[in-house]
């Protein structure tokens, strides 16, 4: 009897709690609801944790390193020397956790410092691609959706330009850009950003055209709202979700592509700056991969894990923002 | 009645059908609205009925200039809307508002209710500052029976009926003269339909609004309208005062529509004869010659294929049928 009563009380309490949750004062916007869904998604939690650690390392990098990442022959005082001629590369040990690279520098310190370069390239490149892409795609989408016949012409011109970019293989485009502008950190970021422009432009344009047929756009027109305001305050906010998801996913590919450029020798020529792509190339070409595979393995793992983190978070965001998947 | 607020004259809305890969070639037109003339008196309600695809929604949108008419004129209180330059038309929009069928898709999901309701006020510079707008909005919320706490909420947090009230409030807050309601209740529960229809009725009495109500539900239209127009394939086939039309339909199509409404009395329902229409609505891109209804009309004769019947006055109705007089006796028996 008492057990039953207790059960009932517990149930009532749960119901009261639910009611309290639902009678909150403020309304909830779609963004806040999406954020809630993201927080419940396990892959988002994993992705966000990976990225949290990665960003922490990137920011605090110089304070975390046990040795100067640029110091050649840092292992000599400990009797650990790299002898390239004899293919001797001290592997992971208690002093140098990830071993020494082909010039006898501490791999662990270089990995930590390299995180910052990787993050910088990824974020700046994605920002460049996002800004340019959204500008072109937004203008094209708004012109097509609301601009009538002249709008369609504007859209046509912009999109043929985007098609041209899209027609070229992205890495090839990046390589030609870097080769054209001479390699430097900035060129790498511009090149990697530039190749993601068509994706963002197409995505935003498509979403905006779809939204411009929505009934609430007709409603806003019938209210007498200015076309520019309709485009900016109705169509754009409702079209931006897939673009943000794509931006998260592009961060992952940007990191891989920047590493690819460095790998091909088109990265930052300043070799004192450790960078995972360059380290990967060094591990493969400048040392003996058959004797010291770990020199290539660690940077590769670093790139893969970060890219995975961004991808997981991006996928979780896609799920949270997709209106079809909403309960 | 103090004169006509809306005068539509020979309105046509044709959508081009294009073909071609590089250059678009127009190979035909969908004649969604093909020569409709009607007028609505100040403070009156005009009900527009017809099956789906007959062009009634397009007519409503063309009236509000949300779809550009191909030909004809639309006058709102004497101002011809079809020839106005865009900025002048925009200024006129506060005089005419629309209520949409689907209250969910017609509300921007990322706007809260206050922002939805103040948008029109901002666009026309009504209400002055934020407090002025707030006062107008809260008065409108009271008028449509929504609580004040709704302001900070978002559309998806409301039920269907409440959303439709938001849609009505959005139209009302600009104090328009004309409201075009496109299937205002067909997306709602039956119990809520009555509430919304009664709300529209009350608002009309209080504010002297003029309505164009588009619906396929004959009972709804009968309840709310003063005059009812029946559309078939882009044209009016009959127009009469609401009571007249329901009591004594003259056009065979109207008769068929009426006989499709179930009667809530099993005995009558059993006995009465129904006119079942054969076939589908013909394509508005390639309408039949002569009378548009002849392909499905049980009384179609040769003349119907040759001559398109004009809308003419018969017994106080306006009917587009060559044989309205003869059929009226026949139909009364049915």
As to burial, measured by CB atoms within 10 angstroms (0-12 exposed, 13-18 middle, 19+ buried), residue A226 is middle
Shared domain check, B254 and B242: no
* Alpha carbon distance A223, B108 (integer Å): 13
- Provide the shortest C-alpha distance from residue B278 to chain A (in Å): 34
Please give the average per-residue pLDDT across B323-327, as a whole number: 82
- Inform me whether the pLDDT recorded for B183 exceeds 60: yes
Residue B78 belongs to some domain of the structure: no
B236 and B102 together in one domain: yes
pLDDT of residue A20: 46
What mean pLDDT do residues A148-177 have? 89
Domain assignment present for B1: no
Parent domain of A108: 55-80+95-325
Residue B192 has pLDDT above 70, yes or no: yes
Going by pLDDT thresholds of 50, 70 and 90, the confidence category of residue A21 is very low
Q: Tally Cβ neighbours within 10 Å of residue A163.
A: 11
Domain boundary at B247, B264, B295, which?
B247
Give the contacts of A59 (CB within 8 A, at least 6 positions apart).
A116
Domain span at B303: 249-334
Residue A43 lies in a domain: no
End-to-end Cα distance, chain A: 38
CB proximity list for A228: less than 8 A, separation 6 or greater:
none
Q: Do A218 and B106 touch (CB under 8 A)?
A: yes
User: Would you tell me which residues 2-31 of chain A have a C-beta closer than 8 angstroms to some C-beta of chain B?
Assistant: 25-31
What's the gap in Å between the CA of B106 and the closest CA on chain A?
A: 4
Picking from A16-25, A40-49, A208-217, which range would have the lowest pLDDT averaged per residue?
A: A16-25
Mean pLDDT of B99-123: 91
Using CB atoms, pick whichever of B110, B119, B153 lies closest to residue A223: B119
Q: In this structure, is residue B24 part of a structural domain? A: no
In a domain, B133, yes or no: yes
Q: Is the per-residue pLDDT at B74 higher than 90?
A: yes
- Distance to chain A for B307, nearest Cα, Å: 38
CA distances from B81 to A147, B72, B92, B96, B180 (A): 20, 11, 8, 11, 15
* Residue A198 confidence (pLDDT): 94
pLDDT the model gives residue A125: 93
Q: Which residue has the higher pLDDT, B31 or A286?
A: B31
Q: Is residue A218 in a domain?
A: yes
Taking CA atoms, A168 is separated from A134, A262, A263, B205, B318, in Å, by 20, 20, 20, 66, 65
Establish if B288 belongs to a structural domain.
yes
**Taking CA A7 as the corner, what is the angle to CA A6 and CA A9, rounded to the nearest 5 degrees?**
65
- Taking contacts as CB-CB distances below 8 angstroms, the residues of chain B near A26 are 152
A305 contact B CB<8A:
no
Average pLDDT over residues A310-314: 89
Mutate to test the interface with B, among A219, A229, A233 (most CBs of B within 10 A): A219
The mean per-residue pLDDT over the stretch A136-157 comes to 90
Largest Cα separation within chain A, whole Å, is 85
Q: Identify whether A268 is part of a domain.
A: yes
B15: number of Cβ within 10 Å: 16
CB proximity A218 to B under 8 Å? yes
Contacts of A30 in chain B (CB under 8 A): 109-110, 154, 156
* Residue A46 placed within a domain: no
Q: In A, which residues are within 8 Å of B187 by CB distance?
A: none
Contact B107 A219 (CB under 8 A): yes
Among A254, A264, A276, CA closest to A113: A276
Same-domain check for residues B235 and B314: no
- Whether residue A133 contacts residue A200, with contact meaning beta carbons closer than 8 Å, is answered with yes
CA separation (Å) from A28 to A17, B14, B104, B134?
Answer: 18, 43, 16, 20
pLDDT at B319 over 60: yes
Cα Rg of chain A, angstroms: 26
pLDDT(B276) > 80: no
Mutate which of A36, A223, A229 to disrupt the B interface (most B C-beta within 10 Å)?
A223
Looking at the fold, whether B50 and B181 belong to one and the same domain comes out as yes
Mean pLDDT of the residues in chain A: 84
Q: Please count the structural domains in chain B.
A: 2
pLDDT digit string, tens, across residues A186-215 = 888 999 999 999 999 999 999 999 998 889
Is residue B8 one of the residues assigned to a domain?
A: no
Q: Is residue A73 helix, strand or coil?
A: coil
Q: How far is A162 from chain B (nearest CA, A)?
A: 18
Last residue within a domain, chosen from B223, B247, B271: B247
Determine which of A28, A224, A225, A230 to mutate to test the interface with B (most B C-beta atoms within 10 Å).
Answer: A224
Q: What is the pLDDT of residues A267-293, one digit of tens each?
A: 877 777 788 888 888 888 877 777 788
Residue A17 counted as domain residue: no
Is residue A3 in some structural domain?
no
Q: Which chain A residue's Cα is nearest to B167?
A: A219
Q: Do B243 and B314 fall within a single domain?
A: no
In a domain, A196, yes or no: yes
Residues of B in contact with A229 (CB under 8 A): 123
Is residue B254 in a domain?
Answer: yes
Claim to verify: residue B218 and residue B299 sit in the same structural domain = no
Question: CB A234 to CB B108 under 8 A?
Answer: yes
DSSP-derived pairing of the beta strands B235-241 and B317-319? antiparallel
In a domain, B140, yes or no: yes
Q: How many domains does chain A have?
A: 1
Structure tokens given for A227: 């076309």
Q: How many CB atoms lie within 10 A of CB A3?
A: 7
Residue B170 sits in the same domain as residue B195: yes
Chain A CB contacts of B107 under 8 Å are 216, 219
Query: Could you report the per-residue pLDDT of B35-62, keeping only the tens digit for each?
Result: 899 999 999 999 999 888 888 999 999 9
pLDDT of A244 reads 87
Same domain, B107 and B147: yes
How confident is residue A92, by pLDDT bands cut at 50, 70 and 90? confident
Tell whether B201 and B329 lie within a shared domain: no
Percent of chain A with pLDDT strictly greater than 70? 90
**Percent of all residues in chain B with a pLDDT value above 90, rounded to a whole number:** 44
Put simply, whether A223 touches B (Cβ < 8 Å) is: yes
Q: Please indicate, yes or no, whether residues B261 and B243 belong to a single structural domain of this protein.
A: no
How does residue A305 score in pLDDT terms, banded at 50, 70 and 90? very high
- In tens, the pLDDT along B198-241 reads 999 999 999 999 999 999 888 888 889 999 999 999 999 999 99
A326 has a pLDDT exceeding 80: no
Smallest CA–CA separation between A212 and chain B, in Å? Answer: 12
A226 at interface of B, judged by CB pairs closer than 8 A: yes
**A110 interfacial to chain B (CB closer than 8 Å):** no
B334 & B265 share domain: yes
Determine if residue B3 is left, alpha or beta; phi over 0 gives left, psi from -120 to 50 gives alpha, anything else beta. left
pLDDT at res. A253: 87
- Of B147 and B263, the one with more pLDDT: B147
Last residue of a domain, one of B206, B226, B247: B247
Q: Is pLDDT of A259 > 90? A: no
A85 touches chain B (CB under 8 A): no
What's A305's domain CATH number? 1.10.3720.10
A40: in domain: no
């Amino acid at each position: 009897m008492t057990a039953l009563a207790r059960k009932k009380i517990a149930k009532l309490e749960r119901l009261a709690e639910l009611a309290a949750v639902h009678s909150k004062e403020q309304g909830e916007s779609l963004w806040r609801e999406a954020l809630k869904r993201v927080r419940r998604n396990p892959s988002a939690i994993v992705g966000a944790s990976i990225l949290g650690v990665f960003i922490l390392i990137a920011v605090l990098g110089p304070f975390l390193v046990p040795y100067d990442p640029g110091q050649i022959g840092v292992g000599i005082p400990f009797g650990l020397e790299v002898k390239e001629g004899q293919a001797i590369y001290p592997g992971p040990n208690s002093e140098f956790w990830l071993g020494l690279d082909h010039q006898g520098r501490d791999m662990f310190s270089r990995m930590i410092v390299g995180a910052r370069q990787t993050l910088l390239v990824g974020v700046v490149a994605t920002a460049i691609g996002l800004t340019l892409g959204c500008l072109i795609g937004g203008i094209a989408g708004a012109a097509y959706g609301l601009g009538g016949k002249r709008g369609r012409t504007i859209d046509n011109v912009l999109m043929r330009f985007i098609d041209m970019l899209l027609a070229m293989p992205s890495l090839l485009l990046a390589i030609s850009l870097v080769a054209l502008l001479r390699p430097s950190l900035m060129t790498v970021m511009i090149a990697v950003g530039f190749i993601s422009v068509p994706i963002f432009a197409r995505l935003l344009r498509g979403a905006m055209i779809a939204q411009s047929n929505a009934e609430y756009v007709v409603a806003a027109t019938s209210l007498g709202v200015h076309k520019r305001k309709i485009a900016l305050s109705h169509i754009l906010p409702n079209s931006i979700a897939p673009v943000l998801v794509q931006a998260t996913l592009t961060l992952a590919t940007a990191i891989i592509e920047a590493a690819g450029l460095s790998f091909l020798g088109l990265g930052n020529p300043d070799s004192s700056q450790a960078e995972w792509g360059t380290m990967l190339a060094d591990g493969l070409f400048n040392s003996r991969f058959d004797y010291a595979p770990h020199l290539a393995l660690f940077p590769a793992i670093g790139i893969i894990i970060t890219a995975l983190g961004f991808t997981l978070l991006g996928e979780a965001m896609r799920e949270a923002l997709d209106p079809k998947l909403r309960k | 009645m103090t004169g006509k607020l809306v005068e539509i004259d020979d309105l046509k809305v044709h959508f081009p059908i294009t073909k071609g890969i590089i250059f678009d070639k127009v190979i035909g037109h969908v004649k969604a609205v093909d020569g409709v003339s009607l007028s609505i008196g100040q403070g009156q309600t005009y009900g527009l009925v017809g099956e789906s695809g007959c062009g009634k929604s397009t007519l409503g949108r063309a009236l509000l200039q949300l779809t550009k008419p191909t030909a004809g004129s639309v006058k709102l209180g004497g101002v011809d809307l079809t020839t106005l330059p865009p900025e002048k038309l925009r200024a006129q929009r506060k005089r005419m508002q629309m209520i949409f069928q689907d209250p969910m898709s017609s509300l921007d999901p990322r706007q809260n209710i206050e922002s939805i309701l103040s948008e029109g006020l901002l666009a026309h510079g009504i209400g002055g500052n934020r407090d002025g707008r707030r006062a107008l909005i809260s008065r409108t919320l009271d008028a449509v029976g929504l609580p004040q706490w709704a302001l900070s909420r978002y559309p998806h947090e409301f039920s269907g009926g409440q959303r439709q009230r938001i849609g009505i409030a959005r139209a009302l807050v600009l104090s328009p003269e004309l409201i075009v309601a496109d299937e205002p209740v067909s997306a709602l529960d039956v119990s809520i339909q009555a509430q919304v229809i009664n709300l529209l009725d009350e608002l009309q009495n209080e504010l002297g609004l003029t309505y164009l109500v588009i619906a396929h539900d004959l009972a709804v239209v009968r309840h709310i309208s003063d005059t009812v127009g029946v559309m078939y394939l882009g044209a009016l086939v009959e127009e009469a005062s609401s009571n007249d039309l329901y009591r004594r339909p003259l056009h065979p199509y109207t008769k068929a529509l009426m006989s499709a409404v179930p009667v809530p009395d099993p005995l009558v329902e059993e006995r009465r004869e129904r006119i079942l229409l054969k076939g589908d609505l013909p394509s508005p891109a390639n309408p039949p010659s002569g009378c548009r209804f002849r392909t499905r009309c049980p009384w179609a004769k040769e003349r119907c294929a040759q001559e398109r019947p004009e809308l003419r006055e018969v017994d106080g109705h306006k009917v587009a049928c060559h044989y309205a007089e003869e059929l009226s006796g026949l139909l009364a028996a049915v």
